[in-house]
Amino acid sequence: MRVISGSAKGRRLKSLEGKDVRPTTDKVKESVFNIIQFHIEGRRFLDLFSGSGQMGVEALSRGAKQAVFVDKSAAALKVIKANIEAAGLSEGARVINSDALSFLNSNCEKFDVAFLDPPYGAGILQSVLPYLSDNMNKGGLIICESPLKEELFEKIGDFTLDRNYHYGKIKISVYCVKDEC
């Protein structure tokens, strides 16, 4: 894994170890950032289910004002902090040890872009998405990575599913507020 673009371009990032780890591929990451390229600079980015933190690091490298990394795994938090430090992006980063629902229910800040890539096949996106819209700015984007066949909501709060992108067995779903996309 590496940072694809921006101030930390080319920096190698650590990944979590284990058979249950499924980092976002560089191809999918590059595609996501091509989709949201005009929604990053100077904005607040939420990397929910951060894992290695590579999506939030990429956002900071590309000019995000702040990236908030949320994960409940102690091993993930250690890797996230190491990756932020290695990329030289500590100033705009905030790492939070929490499960997604607890974070979303207690958070009082708004985000411009949220990226969610929870463990596949457990229905986690369906349980978290209804709580996310209250944590988003009206002109924001919600990006979900899921298995191709996983059904997601058409609407969450004021946000509507705008489009899906397919990359092999992976689906990227983009939500926005209509008239703000």
> Which element (helix H / strand E) includes 155?
strand 155-156
Fold observed for domain 26-177: Rossmann fold (3.40.50)
pLDDT (tens digit, 0 to 9) for every residue of the chain, 181 residues total? 899 999 999 999 999 876 566 778 888 999 999 999 999 999 999 999 999 999 999 999 999 999 999 999 999 999 999 999 999 999 999 999 999 999 999 999 999 999 999 988 788 999 999 999 999 998 999 999 999 999 999 999 999 999 999 999 999 999 999 877 7
Instruction: Tell me which amino acid residue 164 is.
Output: N
Centroid of chain to Cα 69: 8
* pTM score, whole prediction: 0.94
| Amino acid in position 119 | P
57 phi/psi in degrees, rounded to 5: -65, -45
How, if at all, do strands 44-48 and 66-71 pair?
A: parallel
Calpha distance 172→145 (Å, rounded): 5
